[in-house]
Amino acid sequence: MMKEKGETTRKVLRDLGEIEGEYRRTECYEVIGEKEVKVSCGEVAKAFVEGADREFVIKNLRRGVEYRVRASDVSFLEVEGSKVYMLHDEGDVVDEEGKIAYTLSNRGVVRVVRSPFKARIVLIEEVLGQKHDKLRIYLARER
């Protein structure tokens, strides 16, 4: 049976659109007065580490969620292993002692990374230039 001209192309483009949704990036904005100014998420991560008195809006385009956070209210966990498997995405809320990730060592030992308090995962940053997987997970306390 012959396919209609362009049918295969339309199917491929539809499939690629669905796949693309899973790879959308997180966008970061600094709140300056009443405006949201787009900034790099690396700059936001740096402000989180410094505990700066700045406010940001983080938009997780994969999940369609956005949230506002003050950098001084954010703490972070560094997670490292030969492999790191995240159980949650940016924007998710985890309970105190809730599982955030698993790490796997070179020797095959699996460890659980738990949240120290009830928190929203506001940003996940991959630390580049490391021998193993290394992530910084930024958490804002949920009230």
Domain 25-141 adopts which CATH fold? OB fold (Dihydrolipoamide Acetyltransferase, E2P) (2.40.50)
Q: Is 70 exceeded by the pLDDT of residue 52?
A: yes
Determine the average pLDDT of the residues in 109-129.
Answer: 93
pLDDT of residue 28: 96
Q: Tell me the domain boundaries of the chain.
A: 25-141
CA distance 118 to 9: 47
pLDDT of residue 20: 62
Q: Is 70 exceeded by the pLDDT of residue 1?
A: no
pLDDT of residue 22: 61
* pLDDT classification of 13: cutoffs 50, 70, 90: confident
* pLDDT classification of 8: cutoffs 50, 70, 90: confident
CA 86, 88, 91, 96: dihedral to nearest 10 degrees? Answer: -110
Residue 114 contacts by C-beta under 8 Å, 6 or more apart in sequence? 97, 98, 99, 100
